[in-house]
Structure 1
Amino acid sequence: MSAISAGFVGAGFMGDVHTRAARANGARLAGLVGSTPERGEAAARRLGVERAYPDLEAMLADPSIDVVHVLSPNALHAEQALAVIESGKNVVCEKPLAIGSAAAAALVEAAEGAGMVNAVPFAYRFHPMVREARSRTHGQRILTVDARYLQDWLADGSDDWRVDPAAGGRSRAFADIGSHLVDMIEFVTGERIIRLVARSSTAFPERGGREVLTEDAVALLLELEGGGIGTALVSQVATGRKNQLAFEVATDGASFAFDQEHPDDLWVGLAEGGLALARDAARLSPDAARLSIVPVGHPLGYLDAFTAFVGDVYAAIAGEVRDGLPTFRDGLRAARLTDAVLASIDRDGWTDTSPEPID
């Protein structure tokens, strides 16, 4: 596969993550667009990107760029991703794919109609032990799911652009990290969530001297299409929890638990007791073994999972097919589940979340 030439829109934390992953996959870091030309220049120097473009239009005019990573604030995703597609370039767009499912559906239609590779970084799918859990639960009867995504970076009452609905959207905690959690539930179980009831809370009525209109935490009760039931808790104010995405799935014959803060193990619960299955490629399913790139005992983490995600995107651009690559359709699914969560909160009751057609 010849080197991919990549461009990046945005230069915050995700700019660091995406450029590291692209570099690790042998890409040419061709260009970057910042929130201002000056910030773009500084970020390009810091991240080792060849040049900074004054704006997205200038980047898209460069015929040498194969793929653009859209990493800007949420409210800009749909407009910028659509511009990338219309320029004839492949696109990776951070989640949420769009503010609202209607805009997300339009992006799916545009990307697929143009024949461009499109992806959303649900990168936690790329932990080998997540793939192992998936291989062991698929085809089994799912009885229960217990899932959580807990962070504490807003537990001190501080402010951030994501708090503002104009920049981040009406949902904050759920759209930001809950989207990862519901994607994980459906990816691992192989079943859709068909209905849910949600409650939300806002721990701080004000941040940065302005009223807070987005949620700090969301709790869900959910039902899967096979009849299984589950719970999901999302919080950005869980003191002491830095980035815990964890789940436990109970099937007819066994239970499986994963915690991305300890990603090299999968807990397997059996009638005779539980055991920790280590990330040993010789004992894993083929898909998990593919992602287990160093021997057991050499830890793999978040950046490794993200690098694997970007590697599969670039492989798709080269014409390969990789199982489990999250596309704009997965981003649309997350947007629809976010809409359903907000609807459930508004109406104080159950909301149907059965899969819908694109149009």
Structure 2
Amino acid sequence: MSSGYGERRLRVAVVGTGMIAGVHARAARAAGAEVLGVLGRNAARSAQVAAQLDLPRGYASLDEVVADAPDVVHVCTPNDQHHPQALAVIAAGIHVVCEKPLATDPARAAELVAAAADAGVVATVPFVYRYHPMVREVRARIADGELGRFLAVHGHYLQDWMLDEDASSWRVDPTASGSSRAFADIGSHWCDLVEFVTGERFTSVSAVTDVVYPTRPAASGPSFSGSPDPDPVADATERAEVTTEDTAVATFRTAAGRIGNVVVSQVAAGRKNRLWFEVDGTRGSAAFDQEQPESAWFGNERGAQIVVRDPTQGYPDQRRVAVVPAGHPQGYLDAFAAFVADTYAAVRGESPDGLPTFADGARAADVVAAVVGSSATGSWREVP
């Protein structure tokens, strides 16, 4: 069935001007798209970032973006803007990539899933850690029964960019980020990844969260230390009460009755982006560390081995996303580009395996809401 795009390059626009917007723009170019321009909070900001990213246009409004008739719009704005902006793009019949969370509550996330289905547009969420080749290798080995019956999954996602009590960003403001910060931001990635890899879905959760500093500057700075473009928009001398968590620990039950556990922190000194998980089975275990993505660890009662990415070895799904020869490291940007390429393949009518869609984004919203609810009440919560 023809997608109607023929062999022409897809035309895309980026909404948002932070660090992740630049990642989207570069990944779109790597996937062969023509990036038309970028939209910031006002025309001046749009023009500034368009120049930084060497894009032809800085848009003045979302209406201008839609009027330019791109094939795909990438929504990379603060969390509270995702729902209205993605909904407007979908209403125009345009395919959409939207950063997570899809919305600051599950009901609005579900609304976006339904709207995309009704409009017949491709709608994806960048859970890009799925696209590390060794993640696909671990997933394929589990599906093939190499680890035996699933027993447990555990791990952590640790960062340190909020370690300083004077660190802040728009994510600290619950009106912009939602009721969860650390877990919604990075814990959602861990949960999506382990459910994707294991095929096990979490059905209930018991969680605790902690706010380590009662106040932080009421400033909207960069979302990660070392950002080349901090773009402050508030007075950093003013301080605001912090209500969203810096750390979280969540214990899950799966549909099979087994246990999962994760520690999430944005105040773990020296940890920049350590997403790590281990899956334990009756015949063996497997572990993956996102900061060392070229390999995975496999163990059994007789010992353990480190398996290194190699596009000439391993399962077909791993080899599909292993785009450079062994010994030439692939990393996060390659994973992001692979996700975007699969999204564009779906726009052209293909069905790439493992592509995270709005349904996965809504699933993440359900998990985050259950974690927040459990922490607030001190009780187990069902995950829908």
Same fold (TM over 0.5): yes
Equivalent residue runs for 1:297-316 within 5 Å: 297-316=327-346
Mapped to 1, the partners of 2:383 and 2:203 lie a distance apart of 5
Aligned partner of 2:225 in structure 1 is: none
Contact 1:221–1:230, Cα closer than 8 Å, also in 2: yes
1:174 is aligned to 2:183:
yes
Matched residue SS, 2:338: helix
Aligned partner of 2:296 in structure 1 is: 266
Contact 1:143–1:227, Cα closer than 8 Å, also in 2: no
Amino acid at match of 1:291: V
Please state how far the C-alpha of 1:61 moved relative to its aligned partner. 1.2
1:150 is aligned to 2:180:
no
Please state how far the C-alpha of 1:48 moved relative to its aligned partner. 1.7
Amino acid at match of 1:265: S
1:237 is aligned to 2:261:
no
Mapped to 2, the partners of 1:171 and 1:284 lie a distance apart of 38
Between 130-139 and 78-87, report the one with greater CA deviation: 130-139
Amino acid at match of 1:160: S
1:10 is aligned to 2:13:
no
Amino acid at match of 2:245: E
1:198 is aligned to 2:204:
no
Aligned partner of 2:33 in structure 1 is: 27
Matched residue SS, 1:297: coil
Mapped to 1, the partners of 2:326 and 2:149 lie a distance apart of 30
Which 4+ runs in 1 deviate beyond 6 A? none
Runs of at least 5 residues in structure 2 that lack an aligned partner in the other structure: 1-6, 218-238
Mapped to 2, the partners of 1:61 and 1:87 lie a distance apart of 9
Matched residue SS, 1:143: strand
Mapped to 2, the partners of 1:70 and 1:147 lie a distance apart of 29
Mapped to 2, the partners of 1:168 and 1:195 lie a distance apart of 24
Runs of at least 5 residues in structure 1 that lack an aligned partner in the other structure: 355-359
Matched residue SS, 1:68: strand
Aligned partner of 1:75 in structure 2 is: 80
1:56 is aligned to 2:62:
yes
Mapped to 2, the partners of 1:333 and 1:340 lie a distance apart of 11
Between the two proteins, the alignment pairs up a number of residues equal to: 353
Matched residue SS, 2:58: coil
Contact 1:195–1:222, Cα closer than 8 Å, also in 2: yes
Deviations, residues 250-298 of structure 1 (Å, cap 9, x unaligned): 1111100000000000100121111100101222110110011111110
Please state how far the C-alpha of 1:52 moved relative to its aligned partner. 1.2
Aligned partner of 1:221 in structure 2 is: 251
Please state how far the C-alpha of 1:2 moved relative to its aligned partner. 2.4
Aligned partner of 1:357 in structure 2 is: none
The alignment yields a C-alpha RMSD, in angstroms, of 0.9
Please state how far the C-alpha of 1:227 moved relative to its aligned partner. 2.5
Aligned partner of 2:362 in structure 1 is: 332
Q: Which of 311, 316, 322 is the equivalent residue of 1:286?
A: 316
Amino acid at match of 2:160: D
Amino acid at match of 1:32: V
Mapped to 2, the partners of 1:152 and 1:128 lie a distance apart of 26
Deviations, residues 24-82 of structure 1 (Å, cap 9, x unaligned): 1111011211111001001111112221110001110122x100000010000000000
Amino acid at match of 1:183: D
Mapped to 2, the partners of 1:296 and 1:199 lie a distance apart of 41
Matched residue SS, 2:32: coil
Please state how far the C-alpha of 1:228 moved relative to its aligned partner. 1.9
Mapped to 2, the partners of 1:210 and 1:52 lie a distance apart of 32
Mapped to 1, the partners of 2:312 and 2:33 lie a distance apart of 30
Give the TM-score of the pair, scaled to structure 1: 0.97
Mapped to 2, the partners of 1:271 and 1:316 lie a distance apart of 42
Mapped to 1, the partners of 2:45 and 2:240 lie a distance apart of 26
Mapped to 2, the partners of 1:4 and 1:182 lie a distance apart of 31
Contact 1:255–1:270, Cα closer than 8 Å, also in 2: yes
Q: Percent identity?
A: 50
